[in-house]
Amino acid sequence: MNFHDRVSVTIEDHVAHVLLDRADKMNALDDAMFEAIVAAGSHLHHTKGVRSVVLSGAGRSFCAGLDLSSMGNTDRWGANGSGGGNLTDRTHGNANRAQQAAMVWRKLPMPVIAAVHGVCFGGGLQVASGADIRIAHPDARMAVMEVKWGLVPDMAGYVLWRGNVRDDVLRELTYTHREFNGTEATAFGFATHVDADPLGRAMALAREIAGKSPHAVRGAKLLTNRTAYMDEDEILMAESVAQHELMYSPGQIEAVKAGMEKRAGEFGDP
């Protein structure tokens, strides 16, 4: 399935592969790309049978960030988005459209794995940061680029980097907009793993996750998303509620049987 000639989605064996497909522009973010990313994420949110998602970029880069040719357009985020004087409009729940291009992956009920290669700058880094897990090529070129253009990161980066990237490291990289590679990104907290074949490793991990109980995996993602904003008592209760819903359910019983019998589980979809 293709969205706005910018993003394609293919699904096989419960794994969705989302491909940013503007290779001639290193998948830079123009109006159509923002629309396509949000639309692809929304589509997957309502698609049955998807248990994990891989997000990658076509060609020689993941995403070069904002298409600079759009910077002269005062309505660059789109009339119905959150651009121009309307950046504070919440057009997608708690986010504007640009923020939703990154947050949509964190909001999906199933895990998302980003495979990062080539250039991953600015908004592209924030889109990748929306994934649950990021696998970067050791030579990937990454940067918190916005200050270079007189801007600040505003595509949910400050939400998505919290807890992953150390505060002083984030400040330095933001103020200086200096590049760092995939190996450094792993040390800094922008990436989870470094691998010479990030897409291959991402797909292998996605297939592994797709073989687990989808109800349990979704429950774990929801808990992880929510507990960052809870106090101790709320976290303890949230764990108990989630476990109560899973315990002795068909999926939980099948997980136990499959584990005891050393076979792949046969799970229904949430």
- Per-residue pLDDT tens for 236-263? 999 999 999 999 999 999 999 999 999 9
Residue ranges of the chain whose pLDDT lies below 50? 74, 76-85
Two domains, one topology: 2-209 and 213-261: no
d(CA 23, CA 35): 17
Q: What is the pLDDT of residues 30-70, one digit of tens each?
A: 999 999 999 999 999 999 999 999 999 999 999 999 998 76
Q: Determine the Cα–Cα distance for residues 89 and 218; give it in Å rounded to an integer.
A: 29
Per-residue pLDDT at 73: 54
Task: Residue 6: name the closest of 44, 42, 39 by CA.
Answer: 39
Given this model, what pLDDT does residue 71 score?
60
Angle of the 232-246 helix axis to the 214-227 helix axis, nearest 10? 170
Token representation of residue 55:
């997000």
> What does DSSP say about strands 112-116 and 141-143: parallel, antiparallel, or unpaired?
unpaired
Distance in angstroms (rounded) separating the CA atoms of residues 186 and 199:
16
Q: What is the pLDDT of residue 69?
A: 79
Nearest Cα neighbor of 33 from 87, 91, 102 is 102
| pLDDT of the residue at 55 | 99
Superfamily for the 213-261 domain: Lyase 2-enoyl-coa Hydratase, Chain  A, domain 2 (1.10.12.10)
At the top level of CATH, the class of 2-209 is alpha beta
pLDDT at 72: 57
Domain regions of the chain by residue span = 2-209, 213-261
